[in-house]
Amino acid sequence: MITSLFLVIEIALDPNIIKIGGVLITWHGLFTAVGIFVGLNIVLRLTRIRHLDEDIIYTLALVAIPSGILGARGLFVIEHWSYFSKTPSEIIRINEGGISIWGALLAGVIVTVCFAKWRQYPLRNLLDITGLGMIIGLAIGRVGDLINGEHLAKATELPWGVVYTDPDSPAFAHSLAFGAHHPATTYEMLALVVVFFVLLPIFLRFLNQWAGITFALVAISYALIRYFLTEIRLDSPAVFNDFLAPQIIAGVIILIIVPIMIFWLRDTNKLRGTMRN
């Protein structure tokens, strides 16, 4: 149950939906699956619009999804190694929560790009449409984070601050100690929805003429969103000069993507000039 209580949003839902055998189904896992399904369908629709081969998308999905899942859990384990080094059996319990979106994106993109290059697929065109599917899928997945209280954030007196009253919620103890806190991942969800609905019509009308640029804008947008929202989150370790791990990753991503985007723009303009001549 989600209710508003004296300018505070109280979330009393059990983060666990059902346990089947030894498998625990959570809201986080459910909405992650829904996000993957919706994102994949968006990609397939854009594939038809761009007259690309749908079989390529299915092949890439078989590469990207398991790579992303392993990367998501892997980076989370690395970030919280002080805990997992003492309880290694917990590492494989990914269905119970504990993933890093950066890990999913980095592993999924890197492995899929390498595979696409090997198979000589039209990489930049595929990156554009998969990037758009990716951000709407991420946005949907964040609904599960809101219900579960998966990520902790700083206390707030704003009317949309959240408190978690179910003892099984990861944010229950945090709510008792600090009261209402920012729904940081919900801010991210809303920002991603805005990015998607801004970039989609621009891509369909203009940006599809510059292969790779839409993906670059998606990557830069997400990096900026994560960089600033990490300031109010409390679940990432400081790595260097008080910069948190997600902020450093975001900065590195921007430093890599910006020159690549400039190269792609110049390459496209050069190709067009050659064709005119």
Per-residue pLDDT tens for 49-74? 999 999 999 999 999 989 988 888 88
Three-state DSSP class for residue 92: helix
- Residue from 253, 257, 187, 251 nearest 216 by CA: 257
Query: What is the edge-to-edge ordering of all strands in the sheet holding 161-164?
Result: 2-4, 8-11, 161-164
Q: Which own/partner contact pairs does 263-268 have at CB distance under 8 Å and 24+ positions apart?
A: 264/124, 264/210, 264/211, 264/212, 264/213, 264/216, 265/210, 265/213, 268/209, 268/210, 268/211
**CA separation for the pair 250, 228 (Å, rounded):** 10
Model confidence at 7: pLDDT above 70: no
pLDDT at 25: 82
Identity of the residue numbered 68: G
**Looking at residue 14, what DSSP letter applies?**
-
Mean pLDDT of 119-123: 93
Distance of CA 153 to the CA centre of its chain: 17
Mean pLDDT of the chain: 87
Model confidence at 237: pLDDT above 80: no
pLDDT > 70 fraction of the chain, expressed in percent and rounded: 91
Strands 161-164 and 8-11: parallel
pTM over 0.85? The answer is: yes
Mean pLDDT of 219-243: 87
Comparing 150 with 11, which gets the higher pLDDT?
11
Count of other CB atoms within 10 angstroms of residue 172: 17
Model confidence at 47: pLDDT above 70: yes
Residue 94: band (very low, low, confident or very high) from pLDDT cuts 50, 70, 90: low
Model confidence at 275: pLDDT above 60: no
